[in-house]
Amino acid sequence: MNFAKLLTPQAVKVLSSTNSKKRLITELGDLAQSIYGLESAKVVEALLAREALGPTGVGRGVALPHARIEGLEEVSGLFVLLEKPVDFGSVDRLPVDITFALFAPVNAGVEHLKALALVSRTLRDASICAKLRANHSADTLYTILTEAEAVKAA
């Protein structure tokens, strides 16, 4: 599992007008529809159902919302950098400005877990998060994510 497989350059966005967790989840649904052809309402419903189990804000300004989506054929992701952090109910109570949403097929099993582990491990690295926060170009953000993995592998 690697970032180039999880993300396309089009699945990396910088959002400036998001002002709440619910609005962010709605925007993730809209992006999933436009990029992956998923039904926005179903994505939002699945993400909200997962959030009801416990917030996916993992701390230090990072959230990893994820859900299994009916009809999806492979694990896919969206990376969103928020210009204005939002309250996400994170474990450390800090607002979130880095969001990596993962969508998995209903029967994804181990692939979903591998993807979640990769994203979590990468976004736990303070230097990578600092680079992401310092750049507001989607192309640069994509490069940081895909190169971070290559550097760790070397």
- List residues with catalytic annotation: 66
* CB 32, CB 40: distance < 8 Å: yes
φ, ψ of residue 84 to 5 degrees: the values are -120, 115
Which residue is it, tokens 């529809």?
33
Measure the CA–CA gap between 84 and 15, rounded to whole angstroms: 8
3-state secondary structure 14-55: EECCCCCHHHHHHHHHHHHHHHHCCCHHHHHHHHHHHHHHCC
DSSP character for 94?
P
